[in-house]
Amino acid sequence: MGDAAGIGPEIIVRMLAAGLPHPTVVYGDIGILQSAARQFGSSGRLIFHGYSDMQAAIRAKDERKDDGNTVHVAVLSRRAPLPSGLQPGRLDAAAGRAAYDYLCHAIDDAQAGLLRGIVTAPLNKAAMQAGGIDFPGHTEILAERTGTSDYAMMLANDELRVILVTIHVALASVSSLITRESELRTIRLAHLACLQAGIQNPRIAVAGLNPHAGEDGKFGREDIDIIAPAIAQARAEGMDVSGPWPGDTIFMRARRGEFDIVVAQYHDQGLIPVKYLGVDHGVNVTIGLPFIRTSVDHGTAFDIAGQGIADPSSLRAAFDLALAMSVAPASETNSLPRGQN
């Protein structure tokens, strides 16, 4: 559910009310979701059922019968309900801690093979840290809790796929984190991401770190001494990868169809081009986890939370991409029936 004080509850109930093509549960606070459904006109369409774990939801599935006008939603939480009176748009430590707890619950169920994938609504880093959780974002929580060391963030929309070598670090620290190993690891993950998306022979482009990819060493030697050798190694492993290309033109070339994915060196280099094209259909994907995780390409939007104007398009795009990139878990034959949300 993400941060309860943000737009997560609103976009979730809007998406659920529109109907989904696959069994779905929500990890979150049933009271918050019920309130959101009432506020945004979906209370007659959505009926929420609270459970402490997935097995309890599965056991109760026969009690939930859709009649064409209503959608039954299983809400999972193993923590106490959030306090009443939570104000949309205001930073709240309890909401920040709860967002972390919901995510951990979902991760544990995915690790147990109970989920096909996880789709995350936005959390607020400041609220989470106020709640005693010191992580920069979803990605790092997912990696630590699953014990994943080789992972990367990919942003995707209908026109671009971009994967990052470094993620949430200060710009002054980026250069020291650019190594042959980190470059090669990210190129391999780019290859994997494309395969998971159904691209059989991915064309991977690597953006340079420095202006003009270093201009033959005039603007720094990282592109020559670190990035280029990693690309050569990836080619030796059989991958179709090229670069380093100047960062000011590579995204335009990828958008024209020359490449299937771009490896960007740092957060803003890669995310600005994707988000400039619009966040409505952008999706954040964590590559390298033992399950599929997708997310919206926007934040908690405290400035519009509770106003009824949040757009669920990015959340639906994240849901659809999670289905497209994942395979059904072994437990699916015992899970919630199709059409039962």
pTM of the predicted structure, to 2 decimals: 0.86
Q: Report pLDDT for 335.
A: 45
Tokens of 148: 């994943």
pLDDT score recorded for residue 64: 59
E-strand stretches of 30-160: 46-51, 71-76, 117-120, 152-156
> What value does the CA radius of gyration of the chain take, rounded to a whole number of Å?
21
Q: Which residues contact 144 (CB under 8 A, 6 or more apart)?
A: 135
- Give CA–CA dist 121/338, Å, rounded: 22
Handedness of CA 149, 152, 153, 156 (dihedral sign): negative
pLDDT tens for the 341 residues of the chain, in order: 999 999 999 999 999 999 888 889 999 999 999 999 999 988 888 999 999 999 888 887 755 565 668 889 999 999 999 988 899 999 999 999 999 999 999 999 999 999 989 999 999 999 999 999 999 889 899 999 999 999 999 999 889 999 999 988 999 999 999 999 999 999 999 999 999 888 999 999 999 999 999 888 899 999 999 999 999 999 999 999 999 999 999 999 999 999 999 999 999 999 999 988 876 778 999 999 999 999 998 999 999 999 999 999 999 999 999 998 886 554 443 444 333 33
pLDDT of residue 42: 84
Reading the block at residue 296, the tokens are 């919206």
Neighbours of 220 (CB within 10 A): 16
First to last CA, the chain: 15
- Write down the pLDDT at residue 35: 95
**Neighbouring residues of 158: CB distance < 8 A, sequence distance ≥ 6:** 281
For residue 79, the one-letter residue type is R
